[in-house]
A = this chain, B = another copy of it.
Amino acid sequence: MHGGHIIEGKAVTPGAKTFDAIAPATGQPLGPAFAEGGAAEADAALRAAAAAFEPYRALPPADRARFLRRIATEIEALGGTLIERTMHETALPEGRLQGERGRTTGQLRMFADLLEDGSWVGARIDRADPSRSPLPKPDLRRSAVPLGPVVVFGASNFPYAFSTAGGDTASALAAGCPVVVKAHPAHPGTGELVAIAIAAAAAAEGVPAGVFAHLQGSSHELGRALVTHDLTAAVGFTGSLRAGRALFDAAAQRPRPIPVYAEMGSVNPVFVLPGALAERAEAIAEGLVASATLGVGQFCTNPGLVITVDGEHTQRFLDAAARAAAAVQPATMLYPGVCHAFREGVERFASVQGVDVVGRSSTDADPASNDAGAWVLSTDAETFRSNRQLADEVFGPSTLIVRARDVDELEALVHELDGQLTVSVHATTADLAAHPGLVRAAERIAGRIVFGAFPTGVEVTHAMQHGGPYPATTDARSTSVGTAAIERFVRPVTYQDAPDAVLPPELRDDNPLGIWRLVDGRLTRDALA
C-alpha cells in the first residue's frame, strides 16, 4: 500500500500534504499516510478518462463484460488482506464484509451478464416508408450511448458495494463510461487495495488504463474540483444530505450542467396498522429493532421512523421494542464523526418535550471505542408534527415510534413526509382493504414499498428500485442498485437513414446480437425482413 492516488494505472505517491486513516475502535491512526488530492489530481484523472473514453466505449460489450468479471476475480484474489484492512478502517465485522464483498463481485458479474444479454440498450427501430405522402418516412433507429467520464464518491457505510468498485462504478463501466473514484477518507486503504485490483484487471484485459482512476483526499476541495471539472459527464454519490446537496449545487452552477445522482437522507418510515399490531405486535417490534440496529444502524435504508396507531395493542408493541433494544450490544460506528453525530442526534430527539425514551441497550456505549447502542424513542403525532426536526435522519441505531390517533391521522402524516428510499407497511389484508389510500400515499413519497418486512435488505436484481424523491436522492428517476442502474450513465441517440455499416451492432438489420428490439412498435428478436 502506497497511500497515493492511481491515475492511468500508475501509482501517484503522496506529496507533502497527507491525512491518516483512523481505526474507529481505537481512535488511532492506521498507516500509511494518504495523499491529499486536489484540483491538479482531478484534472489529471479526468484528462486520462476523457482520452480513454472513445477507445473504451468502442470495445465490444463482451470485452467490457470480461473486464468487469476480471475486476471481480482480482478483488477476490485480495483475499483476507482486503477484509482485514477494512475491518480496521470501518470496525465492520468479518462476516458482514465477506457478505458485502460477495455482493460487490456479484454486482460486477451481473452487469457483465447484462452486457452479454445486450437488450438493455432499449433498441427501437421504425422502418422507412418511401411511399408515404406528402413526404417519405425515413428509417429511424434509437439506442443508448455512454455519457462520458463519471465521478463516483465512495460511501463510508459500504466500503465495497458503494465505494471504489461499487454499484456506480460497475454500472458506469458497464455502460462504457470511464470512472474517477474519490475514495471515502474513512477507508482509504480499502479503496487503494480495490483500486489496485481494478487497475490490474484493466491491464490484464487490455482495457485503456485511463478508464479508471482513484483519488484520495479528506477535503471538500477534491470533491468540488471533480464535480465542476468540464470533462465530468455525471456524478454518483452516497452520503449525507448536506454533502450531497453541496455537490448538486456545485454541479448546477457549471457552464454545462450534468446529471448528479446523489443518494442522501431517508428515514424509511414503517407504517404499522392496527390489525397487524393486534396479530403480531411483538414480532413486528423485534423485527423493527433488528432492522434499525443492523450494522449499528448504518444503512441508508435504516428504519428511523415508525408510525402506528394508539390502541389496546400499542403498549405491547412498545414493550417488546424496549426489550429488544435492551438486548442489543453496543458496537463501534464507522468513524468518530458519525458516532458523535448519532449521540448528538438521539439526545436532541430525547430532549424534545413529548418524546419518551422507550428503550435503550442495557449495556452502556463506550465513547472511547466510538460505540453506539440501540435507542427506541416514542411520541404522539401532535408532537411529531410540531417538531419538524423529528422527521430528520439520525444516522445510527435508533428509531422513533410515532403514535397517531387513528389510521386517518397516520395517512395524513404520510402526505406530510419528505421523499424516502423506502416505506414499509405492516398490515393485514383487512387493514389494506379498509385503507386503500395508504399504499397510494406511499407511492407518492417512496422508491420502494415493502410489505410485511423491513427495508434494510436491498436485493440486487432487475426489479429493484433503490432511489426515491428528494431528499432521499437528487434524481428519483433512477436507481443505484440493480440492472436498471446502467440507465444512469447513458443517453439515447437516433440514427436516421443510416447505412447499416455505420450503425452500432444492436441496430443493424440482421440483429447480430440477437437482442429484443421495438420494431415499428412491436417487441421482437427477429432480424429485419
Query: Which residues on A are within 8 Å of B, measured CB to CB?
Result: 54, 58, 117, 119, 124-126, 135, 137-138, 140-142, 145, 147-148, 248-249, 252-253, 256-257, 259, 419, 429, 432-433, 436, 439-440, 443-444, 446-453, 457, 459, 461-465, 467, 469-471, 474-477, 479, 483-484, 490-499, 501-502, 516, 518, 520-521, 523
Contact = CB atoms under 8 A, between A and B. Distances in A.
A444 B429 CA distance: 52
A153 B433 CA distance: 41
A299 to B, nearest CB: 15
Nearest to A437: B54
Contacts of A429: 499, 501
Contacts of A253: 249, 252
A290 to B, nearest CB: 12
Nearest to A490: B477
A523 B122 CA distance: 12
B495 A449 contact: yes
A404 to B, nearest CB: 20
A456 to B, nearest CB: 11
Of A459, A462, A494, which is in contact with the most chain B CB atoms at under 10 Å from its CB?
Answer: A494
B492 A484 contact: yes
Given A125-B463, A249-B253, A463-B494, 15 more contacts: A119-B523, A126-B461, A135-B457, A138-B459, A256-B419, A256-B471, A433-B501, A436-B502, A447-B492, A450-B497, A451-B496, A462-B521, A464-B494, A467-B492, A516-B523
Contact of A459 (B140, B432, B453, B495): B140
B145 A498 contact: no
Contacts of A443: 145, 493
Contacts of A453: 138, 496-497
Contacts of A476: 147, 491
A335 B138 CA distance: 32
A124 B452 CA distance: 21
Task: List 10 A-B pairs, minimum CB-CB distance, nearest first.
Answer: A252-B252, A465-B494, A140-B463, A124-B463, A142-B463, A126-B463, A450-B496, A126-B461, A448-B494, A476-B491
A486 B505 CA distance: 26
25 contacts: A54-B440, A137-B459, A138-B459, A140-B459, A140-B461, A142-B465, A145-B444, A252-B253, A256-B471, A257-B474, A259-B477, A448-B495, A449-B496, A451-B496, A451-B497, A452-B497, A453-B496, A453-B497, A462-B521, A465-B492, A467-B492, A477-B490, A477-B491, A479-B492, A483-B521
A440 B58 contact: yes
A429 B499 CA distance: 8
A428 to B, nearest CB: 10
Given A249-B252, A429-B499, A501-B433, A126 B462 contact: yes
Contacts of A249: 252-253
Contacts of A257: 248, 252, 470, 474
Contacts of A117: 521
Contacts of A498: 439, 449, 451
Contact of A464 (B119, B140, B451): B140
A38 B461 CA distance: 47
A334 to B, nearest CB: 23
Contacts of A252: 248-249, 252-253, 257
A462 B518 contact: yes
A149 B78 CA distance: 51
A134 B453 CA distance: 16
A493 B447 contact: yes
Nearest to A140: B463
A233 to B, nearest CB: 9
A124 B471 contact: no
Nearest to A516: B523
Contacts of A119: 523
A378 to B, nearest CB: 26
Nearest to A520: B462
Contacts of A419: 256
Contacts of A447: 491-494
A517 B512 CA distance: 23
A240 to B, nearest CB: 16
A470 B234 CA distance: 13
A495 B423 CA distance: 10
A331 to B, nearest CB: 20
Given A257-B474, A497-B450, A439 B502 contact: yes
